[in-house]
Amino acid sequence: MTSKTFAYVRISSKEQNIDRQIDAMHSLGIDDRDIFIDKQSGKDTDRPQYQLLKAVVREGDTVLFDSITRLSRNMDDIKKEYSEFSARGINLQFLKEPMLDTSNDTSDVMRQAINDIILTILGAFAQKEREEIRQRQKEGIEAARRRGKHLGRPKVRLTEELVKQFNQLYPRWKNGELTAVALMKEMGLKRNTFYNKVKLYEQRLIKEVIIYIKIKYLL
């Protein structure tokens, strides 16, 4: 069976920008359909797309991460997941920590020991960084509240012209005439804005179909 390469991308919240990690995976030839994305904290591994990825990958496959911190920010979880993937014969590659590539020969006892030490140290740093980030966030929120500042990111609103353009291009994208990347580039939209718009648009279409059915067949 032919092996495949997948990618896992994670950001801690919807407010963070995921484009850099996505672009890095695209540059390595990974298609969108093979990229698993979670917008969730790395405090543990209970993330829907990560768990789906683990269910999909098979022996001989490779999973790319931007950094070990994308796998988790908990030292014990990092070591556990790393060992589990290795035991299943699944290669892990971390763009920022290439020394942890599990496809390398680790049969040598000393090399394996060194690898374990590096993994423990990087895992400890990842966990420590998360604790520091949480503390800074807590202090920042408290400081902002004391000053009466509004917290939160303003919603992106499309102009009337962009809405019309989206309505024209959506069917072409849905029919496979345009890729999502091409449509986003054409409209100058970020990935999150595009997929949020798709969700709202399709919800509206469903409501319109339901209203039509009620009028035509039920009233």
- Active site residue ranges: 12
Q: How far is CA 190 from CA 18, 193, 196, in A?
A: 10, 5, 10
**Count of C-beta atoms within a 10 Å radius of residue 8:** 23
Long-range own/partner contacts, residues 24-29 (CB < 8 A, 24 or more apart): 24/66, 24/95, 25/64, 25/66, 28/64, 29/5
**Separation CA 22–CA 92 (nearest Å):** 17
Nearest partner of 38 among 70, 78, 5, 77, judged by Cα = 70
62: β partners = 5, 91
Sequence-ordered list of residues with C-beta below 8 angstroms from that of 122, at least 6 positions apart, any chain: 68, 78, 97, 100
**Separation CA 206–CA 178 (nearest Å):** 22
